[in-house]
């Protein structure tokens, strides 16, 4: 089969190559999926570049996928499936190939409403969003959630999750998102973003702040929090270290919560995707727009496109 592979870290243009590799063998409890579409996420780009530790080389990258089962248990053969995993592309070969092996326990049937390409851009975005907003921050009906980076894939997913949870949703970014249907308010990222969030909440601040950017936005994110508010952090853009006014932190009794979806294997991610599938079937959740689609031979160009932060997701169709 053909697969995208890297044997060292570096610029995707320098280290990624499409190669012919032996078709993977199935172990007990495995399934073989023919990839119809696989998104390229910012985390894939960071992995190839060496930004994320723990990847064993050589490796086929790619976390998210949608395709058809062609090997494994008889009752799964021919099923249209989708998935993602914190192990895919890191400690086991990922989805940027013609075929990928995943545990049968990780298989989830693709929502009929979605095309393969649409299903392939759901995984990381909604799993990280659900893990942070629902499981970690425990966002409740009637609360306010402010989302830094709402114009990105994760931020857009969190906005939709906030809406179905019955929360008031404030989106924050350098530019308005392509889809703002889930937002009650949008705030441009500027020096006094916390003041604007407090104005919109009558001085109270947000019960939950989901910071999908992190680092450069952390001080503003903390300032947006209401008393006993919860800050969810999933990234560290621009800087790894930030200063915190500790007396302000503990007097306001706020909490900072780290979320790492790489801790979730494909099976654990599948359980989260099963939770969001009904919302996708009903139309309450919508996949992010797709900006570019590339064939596997141009997969390196797909990575370069992601690096330029396009207004939508990037998909590889082998």
In a domain? residue 188: yes
pLDDT tens column, 10-58: 999 999 999 999 999 898 899 999 999 999 999 999 999 998 888 989 9
Say if CB 270 and CB 294 are below 8 A apart.
Answer: no
Instruction: Verify that 312 and 185 share a domain, yes or no.
Output: no
CB 10 within 8 A of CB 300: no
Asked if the structure places residue 27 within a domain, the reply is: yes
Q: The domain containing residue 29 runs over which residues?
A: 2-122+287-317
Task: Using the structure block, give the residue that is written with the tokens 């969030």.
Answer: 197
Element (H, E) at 251: helix 246-251
Asked whether 289 and 122 are in contact (CB, 8 A), the reply is no
Same domain as 110, residue 80: yes
Q: Could you list the mean pLDDT of each consecutive 10-residue stretch along the chain, which spans 318 residues?
A: 96 94 91 98 93 90 98 97 96 97 96 97 97 98 98 96 98 92 95 95 98 95 98 92 94 96 95 96 94 95 93 94
Whether residues 209 and 303 share a domain: the answer is no
And the tokens for 312?
């939508």
Structure tokens at 276: 């969001």
Task: For residue 228, give both structure tokens.
Answer: 């006993």
Which residues, listed in sequence order, are joined to residue 71 by a DSSP beta bridge? 32
Mark whether 129 and 37 lie in a shared domain. Answer: no
Is the residue at 21 inside a domain? yes
């Amino acid at each position: 089969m053909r697969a995208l592979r890297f044997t060292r870290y570096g610029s995707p243009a320098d280290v990624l190559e499409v190669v012919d590799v032996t078709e993977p063998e199935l172990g007990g409890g495995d399934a073989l999926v023919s990839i119809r579409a696989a998104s390229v996420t910012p985390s894939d780009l960071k992995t190839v570049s060496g930004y994320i530790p723990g990847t064993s080389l050589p490796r086929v990258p790619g976390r998210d996928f949608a395709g058809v089962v062609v090997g494994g248990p008889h009752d799964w053969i021919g099923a249209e499936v989708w998935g993602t995993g914190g192990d895919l592309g890191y400690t086991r070969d990922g989805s940027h190939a013609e075929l990928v092996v995943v545990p049968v326990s990780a298989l989830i049937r693709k929502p009929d409403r979605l095309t393969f390409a649409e299903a392939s851009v759901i995984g990381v975005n909604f799993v990280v969003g659900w893990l942070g907003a629902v499981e970690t921050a425990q966002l409740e009906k009637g609360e306010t959630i402010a989302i830094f980076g709402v114009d990105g894939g994760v931020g857009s997913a969190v906005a939709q999750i906030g809406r179905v949870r019955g929360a008031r949703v404030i989106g924050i970014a350098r530019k308005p998102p392509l889809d703002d249907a889930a937002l009650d308010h949008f705030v441009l990222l500027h020096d006094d973003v916390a003041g604007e969030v407090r104005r919109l909440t009558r001085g109270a601040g947000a019960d939950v702040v989901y910071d999908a950017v992190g680092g450069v936005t952390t001080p503003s994110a903390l300032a947006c929090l209401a008393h006993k508010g919860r800050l969810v952090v999933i990234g560290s853009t621009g800087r790894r270290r930030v200063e915190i006014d500790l007396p302000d932190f503990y007097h306001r009794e706020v909490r900072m919560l780290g979320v790492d979806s790489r801790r979730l294997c494909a099976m654990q991610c599948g359980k989260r995707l099963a939770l969001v599938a009904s919302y996708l079937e009903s139309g309450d959740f919508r996949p992010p727009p797709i900006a570019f689609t590339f064939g596997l031979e141009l997969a390196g160009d797909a990575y370069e496109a992601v690096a330029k932060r396009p207004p939508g997701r990037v998909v590889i169709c082998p």
